[in-house]
Amino acid sequence: MSKTLFFLLLAIFFHKTFSKEDPSTFSNYFQIKQKHIEGHFQINFNTSTIISKVKIFFESLMDGELIILDSKSLKINSIIDPDTGLNINYEYDTYYSLPSLGTPLKIYKSYSKGQNISIIINYSTTKEGGATQWLTADMTTGKKYPFMFTQGESILSRELIPIQDTPNAKITISLGITVIKPLRALYSGLYQNYIDNGNSITYFYNQKIPVPSYLIALAAGNIDERIISDRVKVYSEPEMVDSAKNEFSDTEKFIQIGETYTIPYEWGEYNILVLPKSFPYGGMENPTLTFATPSILAGDKSLANVIAHEISHSWSGNLVTMSSWKDFWLNEGFTVFIERKIAEMLIDEDMSKLQAIFGYRAMINDIFNLGESKTFSSLNPYLIGRHPDEAFSEVSYEKGFNFIYRTQNIVNKYANFDLFKLILKKYFSKFKYQAIESKKWKEHLYNCINETFNQSIYNNIIKEIDFDYWVKTPGVPKYKNDFNNSYAADADKYVNDFFDKKYDKSFNGTFSKWHTNKKLYYLLQIHTNEKGVDDEGLKYLGETLNLKEGYNSEINNEFFKIMLDNKKLTYIEELKGFLGKFGRMKFLRPLYRGWGSIDKASAYTCFEDNKYWYHPIAVRLIEMDFKKLK
Ligand code: BES
Ligand code: ZN
């Protein structure tokens, strides 16, 4: 093939595949849009598969003869036209298949503009599918029954359902889930009723608010529940359910504070499912059913900000959704902003500033790793030909947060009252149920400012906000917010003692009374100090302050990072214990990388010992991290 022809074909390929708002989907959602899914899932623990039938309802936006859906690792059995009962022709378009995006499923069905049509797909998931983790009984907390759960974000829902897997095509859903007795099935929607089939039960759920495909989530296992308030419950295996109830007892208050900065909670219920230890994230905002890691069951509610974060997604992300992964910061930045408002109201402003300091440090770290001049370190990463998870970093969260926080301060400074809160409330009521780009937020913000101020003040405010700079520029933002606070100031004195080698036993009493975040700040200051930590210092932290085991998971994690970044393997047995305790990627990835950079072989052996119960997403990413190590 000639070079010119090759590049011409390549150009056509990229054009055909990616010339739409969301480059992470193969679907032709701009021609015909999914609106509703009705389905039935049969959970089969013997084969680790789900046998499914879904009826998808579409609205045609133009004439056409083809529906293209996203799919990956699915086995399609038949596609049927519900009007005629006849089979519809379909094929996998393997020519466009990509390991990251899956294989387009072409369905030959014609439609005319404005027409509503539906199709029925009979299919099953396969063992290769990465959307689901199947845990055998020994991988659960109770060790008696198997457990399964799904993860849709970012683009894994196509491994669960053939679907337009783009946040741009929101859907309502009603679903029946059949599971063997005595197990129970949960879904990210409101529970309706059940049918007893003898050996199994079918549970019915509805999600009447249109949601993006990545919020489709289910779980099944030996699941118990406790009530927290009229609209709040916790679910988990029976062994954890009481501690979960205690840990999350403030949830109702979190929601009420969230409502004061946004609009009333629309989802009916807010439930939390604490998963077995392999859950790879801190939390996932599945509507009416937040998924959470058991590593936040600290016993003192000090890690409940993860719940405040997931609740905040009830507005940013779940009601008002980014229209593609490029605007992921719209989901996460606003969510972190609301999360920190909850911390501010529930504890105090200094506590939320303390969290903003951690966030800022983590962001700087990620910016340097991603490259200061690369679009991945901007709020609008260039994603064509890339998997959205590749761009995932603290940038969307913390640069997003810093941008919104600064905008708030500017607007409120000119207004002399909390005008920003009103702007936010209007934003949520105006754009709820929609999927939007950054520029919609910009227009809304500008309009609100314009309505409030005269032309010359308007001009000043817009200039100070510098919207496009924040959204487009990669690297460390040139504007810096002030997060000085009393917790940090007090902890800094003790950090000085540490570096003066005042390894005082009695500090333990003071330290143990501090809030977890203050402890974490103390450790972070030690961690990032260029003086480093010697054997004696590490022993002080590990043994005198006793941070090496049996402590809060975030604190253990920070302790082990200090150890590894100082190139020490002193408490390697304790580290192994920790790596066997939780499958949360936030802990595993940096710890394996740190250990691997000192002794790759032994780190990899530990990974191999645990791999069987780690989540497929975690396994994939840790393998990748090991490959990058020398
Ligand atoms: N939506 C995210 C989790 C996510 C992001 C899953 C991208 C898959 C792809 C969730 O809301 C989140 O941000 N969780 C954080 C919690 C934290 C910021 C308090 C986590 O898991 O650590
Ligand atoms: Zn989030």
The two tokens of residue 236 are: 């988990």
pLDDT for 71:
98
Q: Does residue 253 surpass a pLDDT of 70?
A: yes
Three-state DSSP state, 182: coil
Separation of alpha carbons 85 and 91, rounded Å: 19
CA pseudo-torsion sign 21, 25, 28, 31: negative
- In tens, the pLDDT along 611-627 reads 999 999 999 999 999 99
Distance CA 305, CA 314 (A): 15
Identify which of 363, 356, 370 has the alpha carbon closest to the alpha carbon of residue 394. 363
Atom of ligand 1 nearest to the CA of 281: 21
| % of the chain with per-residue pLDDT over 90 | 95
554 within ligand 1 shell (Cβ under 6 A): no
In this predicted structure, what is the pLDDT of residue 9?
A: 52
pLDDT for the residue numbered 21: 87
Residue 397 a catalytic site member: yes
For the segment 476-505, what is each residue's pLDDT rounded down to a tens digit?
999 999 999 999 999 999 999 999 999 999
Cβ atoms < 10 Å from Cβ of 252: 14
Per-residue pLDDT band at 4 (split at 50, 70, 90): low
Segment 261-266 shows an average pLDDT of 98
Average pLDDT across the chain, whole number: 96
Phi-psi region of 101 (alpha: psi -120 to 50; beta: other; left: phi over 0): alpha
Cα–Cα distance measured from residue 166 to residue 157, given in angstroms and rounded to the nearest whole number: 9
Atom from ligand 1 closest to the CA of residue 328: 7
Token output for 533: 């930590």
pLDDT one-digit tens code per residue, 342-382: 999 999 999 999 999 999 999 999 999 999 999 999 999 99
Give residue 3's pLDDT: 57
pLDDT of residue 6: 52
pLDDT score, position 180: 98
**Predicted local confidence at residue 422, as pLDDT:** 98
Above 50 in pLDDT, residue 18? no
The reported pTM is: 0.96
Q: How confident is the model at residue 14 (pLDDT cuts 50, 70, 90)?
A: very low
The atom of ligand 1 lying closest to the CA of 332 is: 13
pLDDT at 234 over 90: yes
Give catalytic status of residue 543 as yes or no. Answer: no
Distance in Å, CA 284 to ligand 1 centroid = 6
Q: How many angstroms separate the alpha carbon of residue 273 from the centre of ligand 1?
A: 15
| Ligand 1 site, residue 153, Cβ cutoff 6 A | yes
**Beta carbon of 558 within 6 Å of any ligand 1 atom:** no
138 band by pLDDT with thresholds 50, 70 and 90: very high
pLDDT of residue 189: 98
Helix axes 328-346, 251-261, angle to 10 degrees: 120
Query: Has residue 181 got a pLDDT over 90?
Result: yes
Percent share of the chain, pLDDT over 70: 97
The residues whose Cβ lies within 5 A of ligand 2, an ion, are: 332, 335
Q: Residue 568 has what DSSP assignment? A: -
Ligand 1 lined by 281 (C-beta under 6 Å): yes
pLDDT of residue 124: 98
Q: Whose CA is nearest to atom 5 of ligand 1?
A: 153
Q: Is the CB of 285 under 6 A from ligand 1?
A: yes
Indicate whether 465 pLDDT > 80: yes
Cα(257) to ligand 1 centroid in Å equals 20
Neighbours of 115 (CB within 10 A): 13
What is the model's pLDDT at position 551?
84
| Residues facing 436 on adjacent strands | 322
Task: Please identify which of the residues 397, 405, 494, 571 carries the catalytic annotation.
Answer: 397
Q: Say what the alpha-carbon torsion angle 158, 159, 161, 163 is, to the nearest 10 degrees.
A: 10
Ligand (nearest to CA of 291): 1
Q: Is 104 in the pocket of ligand 1 (CB under 6 A)?
A: no
CA atoms within 13 A on the CB side of 425: 12
The SS3 assignment for 310 reads: helix
- pLDDT tens digits, residue range 536-565? 999 999 999 999 988 899 999 999 999 999
Q: How close is the Cα of 291 to the center of ligand 2, in Å?
A: 12
Burial (0-12, 13-18, 19+ Cβ within 10 Å), 311:
buried
Does the pLDDT of residue 104 top 70, yes or no?
Answer: yes
Torsion of CA 4, 5, 8, 12, to 10 degrees: -170
Residues 6 or more apart whose CB falls under 8 angstroms from that of 5 comprise none
Counting atoms of ligand 1 from 1, which one is nearest the CA of 305? 19
Confidence at residue 549, expressed as pLDDT on a 0 to 100 scale: 86
Q: Which amino acid is at 495?
A: V
pLDDT in tens, 311-353: 999 999 999 999 999 999 999 999 999 999 999 999 999 999 9
The predicted pLDDT at position 5 comes to 57
Residue 630, pLDDT score: 83
Residue 153 CA: nearest ligand 1 atom is 8
Give the per-residue pLDDT at 513.
96
Q: Is 394 in the pocket of ligand 1 (CB under 6 A)?
A: no
Determine which residue's CA is closest to atom 2 belonging to ligand 1. 284
Note whether 215 and 155 are within 8 A (CB). no
Could you please report the per-residue DSSP string of 577-622? Answer: HHHTT---HHHHHHHHHHHHHH-HHHHHHHHHHHTTTS-HHHHHHH
Residue 458 CB-density burial (10 A; 0-12 exposed, 13-18 middle, 19+ buried): middle
The yes-or-no verdict on residue 7 having pLDDT over 70 is no
* Cβ of 306 below 6 Å from ligand 1: yes
Rounded to 5 degrees, what angle do the CA atoms 619, 624, 628 make? 145
pLDDT for position 238: 98
